[in-house]
Amino acid sequence: MTKVLVVYYSRTGHTRQIAEAIASACGGDLEAILEPRSRMGVFGFIRSVIESLWESVAEIAPSKKSPGDYDLVILGTPVWAGNMSSPMRAYIRRYRERLPRVAFFCSLIGANPDKALPKMAAACGKDAAATLEVRESELQAGAHTAKISDFLKSIEL
């Protein structure tokens, strides 16, 4: 059986909801990327967009689970200004050498994820086994469940 770790960053809870559904569906462990500073409110939103545009690396807490202990790590991020979140960029930078096989998912409202997922692959130094994009409207309508199922099937989980 493939040992899976689902690692995600979520500012509003949308990415967390997808990550929880993925971990539940594949029996994987779940880990949130935590940071010491809040991103809530208008100023948190603005800081998030600026960091994304500048491709900054956020300060994050150490991971409780080692990605090297898993066969597959599924990384999830919101799309901010077309890019991955700065906390996800920090996680990948910190743990890149320990990442085994990877897959990616992102949550988005209206942004185009065309830059986010390829930049995640480049940052990891490896291609994704699969990718998944879930729009907020799909999440609210419950359409993400079928997409998650297809995503996991494509990884053979």
For 29-78, the pLDDT digits (tens) are: 999 998 877 767 777 666 667 677 667 777 899 999 999 999 999 999 99
Looking at residue 114, which CATH number applies to its domain? 3.40.50.360
Cα–Cα dist 88/83, whole Å:
10
Cα–Cα dist 124/118, whole Å:
10
How many domains does the chain contain in total?
A: 1
Which residue segment(s) compose the domain that 73 sits in? 4-154
User: What is the predicted pLDDT for the residue at 22?
Assistant: 98
Residue with tokens 């809040």: 38
Residues 6+ apart with CB under 8 A from 13: none
Q: Give the mean model confidence (pLDDT) for residues 67-90.
A: 92
Would you say the C-alpha torsion 94, 149, 151, 81 has a positive or negative sign?
A: negative
Cα–Cα dist 154/62, whole Å:
30
